[in-house]
Amino acid sequence: MCGIAGVSVKKGQLAKQAHLTPLAQALAHRGPDGSGFWLQGTVGLAHRRLSIIDITGGQQPLQSPTHALVANGEIYNYKALQAALRQTGVRLQTESDSEVALHLAAQPGLKGGLAAMPQHLQGMYALACAEAATGTILLATDPFGIKPLYYCQTNVGLAFASEPAALASAGWVRPQLNPAVLPMLLNRHYSVGQATLWQGIQRLPPGGRMLVQDGEIIQQWQQLPQLVAANSDSNPREFPAQLEAAVARHLQADVPFGLLLSGGLDSSALAVMMQRLGAPIHAYTAEIQVPGGPTEAQAAAALCAKLGANHTVVPYSAEDFWPGLAQLASTMDDLTTDTAALPLLKLTARARADVKILLSGEGGDETLGGYGHYRSSQNIFKRLLAPFKARRSGDAAPFQHLFRTPLATPRHVAAPWSTANFTPLQLKQSADLAAWLPHDLLLKLDRTTMANGIEGRVPYLDDTLAAYSFALPDTAKVNADFGKLPLRHFMADQGFDQLAWARKQGFSVNVGQFLAAKPQLLRGLWAQSQVLNEILQPAAADKLLGKLQHNKAANLAMSLTLLALWEARHIQGTRVEELQQRLGGQQW
């Protein structure tokens, strides 16, 4: 896991070290173990390294006579690719998982070549591979969007980086808010598509592919996840073996690893499988110390006691909330206002003293049918009623009267792949895989782990396991009472019946109680925000703050607060320490 960046300048110009150094400095937290640069003609690549595999020999940029490459992530099928490359006569210089991508870019005999190279990769990645002879750069992200990449175009050329704030701090764009994404952000807690909250900065979408030459985009396309309609060839009895193989692939590392353990089904199954594989388990659990907060910490402790795992419980309370808000607004530069990121940021800060990798349960709900709204797919009466029921409104929808111009409720996000033969359940899963998963859950995991120099891994999004799980018959995944049936049967077979059939609780922070404790601070913060003054009615603060006991009001207030802090940090340039001091002093 690392931070990557680079430039492709206009024809007739030369890429310079001065283009790369500020980008690398802005990404230092993603790669505290070293940096590297490559310059040739119009192209420059920068890398910040977090050493995970081949500690001594895996420095980047990786170079061959014809190509140079920087990568962020892990290629889990790298050993098989190493063997295939050696059979063609390639002499590998390192044991790095990323070097295989470098040589595949120059191997048309393996149906490779620069544009085709990512098709061979299984794992999570954002990469840039430059062809020395032509100055062409391939930018690519993994099909599920586990690892991010952003870019901007200027009169100098095109620049890219693992985080949009790096592009702004390096001077490639003027820090300016993009108001077009506000309706989606304030309703959903995140935004989808290529536009970001930063004016002039775009996301490369999940599975994004882009060829750049002389500062211009010459081709764009997507490599989507290999998802097929439910079929009888996907046998539920194979699930334990499929999960075991996926977890084994995600344990490939030369450094200590741990597990984010909520006490829920997904992460608990990972712990059980790690023990089955003989891997040491160091689990980390956040304990929310507020009435109405999650209660799964006790279940996590009981599981670790039974497994003999090393278990660290990290308390999260009001004392963490206010300074954490400022840190989160800075860390989450591609803003999502998901409140679960707050304890996660503290949890990863604690874990970095022990480990460099944390496995996480993201993707289990989307691939195995874990959310409550999936179960209506198995209920004929709910299916008949579904077309006549309005879609769930966003958090801003009940409060349109507080805005100067009503915020349009975001439309349903269609999956980018063909869904012609998908079942009703798969249609819902594919919508979440296309929007909620990459733009909220995975983004949140990337920023909170990388802020503390930790690699987050998601075994349920292993290419093979995810394709297998998605293709399971609907009735093998979901019934009228429960989702994720293969995972539940696995845990029951391992002797964890109570955990296997427990109801899903989710993980969130009851922010209304925290926010209600400092109404004057919030009024002052909102009053100093240019964007909030532009979109909110004058009396909006008083009206909203009087309703914080209601979830939608509390969630909207949280979104507005993080938006104001994001603006202060990223647009106005206020230091995190100053923001924390203002929040701690209850004045703005």
Whole-number pLDDT of residue 420 = 79
User: How many separate domains does the chain show?
Assistant: 3
pLDDT tens digits along 512-563: 999 999 999 999 999 999 999 999 999 999 999 999 999 999 999 999 999 9
> Under 8 Å CB-to-CB from 215, ≥6 apart: which residues?
8, 9, 10, 11, 42, 153, 156, 157, 158
Residue 280 and residue 210 share a domain: no
Residue 302 lies in a domain: yes
Mean pLDDT (whole number) for 335-358:
95
Residue 520 and residue 484 share a domain: no
**Could you identify the residue written with the tokens 């909102």?**
526
Q: Is the pLDDT of residue 295 over 70?
A: no
Of the candidates 356, 6, 452, 405, the residue with the CA atom closest to the CA atom of residue 179: 405
Residue 141 lies in a domain: yes
Listed residues 500, 532, 556: the one ending a domain = 500
Mean pLDDT (whole number) for 106-117:
80
Whole-number pLDDT of residue 509 = 79
Q: Domain with 298 in it: what CATH number? A: 3.40.50.620
Residue 272 and residue 182 share a domain: no
DSSP line for 28-93:
GGG-BT-EEEEEETTEEEEEEE---SSTTT--SSEE-SSEEEEEEEEETTHHHHHHHHHHTT---S
Residue 159 and residue 289 share a domain: no
Residue 251 and residue 291 share a domain: yes
How far apart (Å, rounded) are the C-alpha atoms in residues 482 and 371?
9
Whole-number pLDDT of residue 384 = 42
How far apart (Å, rounded) are the C-alpha atoms in residues 88 and 69?
20
Query: Cβ-count burial of 508 within 10 angstroms (0-12 exposed, 13-18 middle, 19+ buried)?
Result: middle
Of the candidates 322, 334, 359, 380, the residue with the CA atom closest to the CA atom of residue 516: 322
Residue 231 lies in a domain: no
Q: 45 has which bridge partners?
A: 6, 38
**Could you identify the residue written with the tokens 């802020």?**
451
Q: 177 has which bridge partners?
A: 198
pLDDT tens digits along 164-205: 999 999 999 999 999 999 999 999 999 999 999 999 999 999
How far apart (Å, rounded) are the C-alpha atoms in residues 467 and 226?
6
Whole-number pLDDT of residue 218 = 97
Residue 371 and residue 266 share a domain: yes
> Under 8 Å CB-to-CB from 9, ≥6 apart: which residues?
15, 19, 42, 44, 156, 157, 214, 215
- State which H helix or E strand residue 527 sits in: helix 519-527
User: Is the CB of residue 215 less than 8 Å from the CB of residue 42?
Assistant: yes
Whole-number pLDDT of residue 389 = 38
Mean pLDDT over each residue of the chain, to the nearest integer:
92
Return phi, psi of residue 561, to 5°: -65, -45
Residue 281 lies in a domain: yes
**For residue 265, what are its two tokens?**
């089904």
Return phi, psi of residue 287, to 5°: -115, 110
> Under 8 Å CB-to-CB from 223, ≥6 apart: which residues?
118, 119, 140, 143, 207, 209
Whole-number pLDDT of residue 391 = 39
Residue 130 lies in a domain: yes
Strands 208-213 and 136-141: antiparallel
Whole-number pLDDT of residue 587 = 57
Residue 255 and residue 199 share a domain: no
Residue 241 and residue 212 share a domain: no
Residue 573 lies in a domain: yes
CB atoms within 10 A of CB 580: 17
DSSP line for 96-110:
-TTHHHHHHTT-GGG
Residue 347 lies in a domain: yes
DSSP line for 277-290:
TT---EEEEEEE-S
Q: Hey, CA dihedral for 154, 156, 161, 163, is it positive or negative?
A: negative
User: Is the CB of residue 137 less than 8 Å from the CB of residue 43?
Assistant: yes
Mean pLDDT (whole number) for 478-506:
91
Whole-number pLDDT of residue 246 = 98
Residue 399 lies in a domain: no
Residue 517 and residue 491 share a domain: no
Of the candidates 155, 156, 154, the residue with the CA atom closest to the CA atom of residue 202: 154
**For residue 198, what are its two tokens?**
């930063």
Whole-number pLDDT of residue 386 = 47
**What is the reported pTM?**
0.95
Radius of gyration of the chain (CA): 23
Q: 204 has which bridge partners?
A: none
Q: Domain with 49 in it: what CATH number? A: 3.60.20.10
Sheet containing strand 202-203, edge to edge, reads: 35-40, 43-49, 2-9, 157-161, 150-153, 202-203
For residue 137, CA distances in Å to 39, 54, 114, 160, 277 come to 12, 25, 9, 11, 40
Residue 555 and residue 483 share a domain: no
Residue 381 vs residue 294, higher pLDDT = 294
Residue 115 and residue 60 share a domain: yes
**Could you identify the residue written with the tokens 């603006």?**
567
Strands 310-316 and 282-288: parallel
What does the DSSP 8-state code read for residue 120?
A: G
Residue range(s) defining the domain that contains residue 560: 511-584
Of the candidates 493, 365, 349, 511, the residue with the CA atom closest to the CA atom of residue 441: 365
Whole-number pLDDT of residue 297 = 85
Whole-number pLDDT of residue 411 = 66
Percentage of the chain lying above the pLDDT 70 cut: 93
pLDDT tens digits along 35-70: 999 999 999 999 999 999 989 899 999 999 999 999
Whole-number pLDDT of residue 111 = 67
pLDDT tens digits along 394-437: 788 889 999 999 887 766 677 777 777 899 999 999 999 999 99
Listed residues 475, 500, 525: the one ending a domain = 500
- Terminal CA-to-CA distance of the chain, rounded, Å? 37
pLDDT tens digits along 371-385: 999 987 665 445 544
Mean pLDDT (whole number) for 291-307:
82
Beta strands in 168-327 (DSSP E): 202-203, 208-213, 216-222, 257-260, 282-288, 310-316
User: Is the CB of residue 74 less than 8 Å from the CB of residue 254?
Assistant: no
Q: Is the pLDDT of residue 349 over 70?
A: yes
Mean pLDDT (whole number) for 108-136:
90
Residue 379 and residue 320 share a domain: yes
Listed residues 500, 520, 555: the one ending a domain = 500
